[in-house]
């Protein structure tokens, strides 16, 4: 599993489980208990309550989790160097290799172009899902 894409995916999944669990837990605490009680009175079971109440209300926190996890994986350097080989290394490792290439002359224009290209997907994700990101981040912050 070491040196493969599957190994790198496994490491990122294990690393992200704790954070995403915390995000979802803090979000679900803000959902009123009365909704769950009313669904139980109507005869809904656990999965029906989850699919009918919690899942439709979860779009903001799902977007936050996807953006956070994407950003963590895209900007990862340590796991990419440690758990992958030359053909499966992430973009940050390739960017490091471009910046630290030993051609004798530092080519800052190439390094900056590579940095912009490497940052573009993350910027695109934030632009597309920005309004949900702010809504999801602030949803579980204040208990009222």
CATH of the domain at 37: 1.10.3720.10
Q: Which among 59, 70, 65, 85 has a CA at the least distance from the CA of 22?
A: 65
State which residues form the domain around 89. 5-139
Q: In this structure, is residue 144 part of a structural domain? A: no
What is the model's pLDDT at position 143? 52
Give the residue carrying structure tokens 């936050």. Answer: 64
What CA–CA distances, in Å, run from 8 to 64, 80, 83, 124? Answer: 22, 7, 6, 23
Query: Which of residues 21 and 82 earns the better pLDDT score?
Result: 21
Q: In this structure, is residue 38 part of a structural domain? A: yes
First to last CA, the chain: 47
Winning range, highest mean pLDDT, from 51-65, 74-88, 101-115: 51-65
What is the model's pLDDT at position 138? 60
- Residue 140: pLDDT over 70: no
**Could you give the number of structural domains in the chain?**
1
Q: How far apart are CA 136 and CA 99, in angstroms?
A: 36
- Residue 134: pLDDT over 70: no
Q: In this structure, is residue 50 part of a structural domain? A: yes
Q: In this structure, is residue 90 part of a structural domain? A: yes
Give me the mean pLDDT over the 41-61 stretch. Answer: 89
- Residue 16: pLDDT over 70: yes
3-state secondary structure of 84: coil
What is the model's pLDDT at position 8? 81
Q: In this structure, is residue 40 part of a structural domain? A: yes
Q: In this structure, is residue 55 part of a structural domain? A: yes
Q: How far apart are CA 2 and CA 101, in angstroms?
A: 26
Q: How far apart are CA 40 and CA 96, in angstroms?
A: 55
pTM of the model: 0.70
Say what percent of the chain tops pLDDT 90: 8
């Amino acid at each position: 599993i070491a040196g493969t894409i599957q190994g790198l995916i496994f490491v990122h999944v294990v690393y992200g489980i704790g954070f995403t669990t915390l995000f979802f837990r803090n979000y679900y605490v803000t959902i009123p208990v009365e909704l769950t009680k009313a669904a139980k009175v109507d005869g809904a079971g656990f999965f029906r309550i989850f699919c009918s109440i919690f899942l439709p209300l979860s779009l903001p926190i799902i977007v936050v989790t996807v953006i956070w996890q994407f950003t963590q994986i895209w900007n990862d350097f340590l796991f990419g160097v440690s758990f992958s080989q030359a053909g499966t290394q992430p973009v940050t490792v390739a960017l490091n290799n471009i910046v630290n290439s030993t051609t004798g002359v530092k080519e800052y224009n190439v390094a900056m172009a590579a940095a912009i290209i490497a940052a573009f997907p993350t910027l695109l994700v934030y632009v597309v899902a920005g309004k949900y990101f702010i809504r999801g981040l602030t949803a579980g912050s204040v208990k009222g």
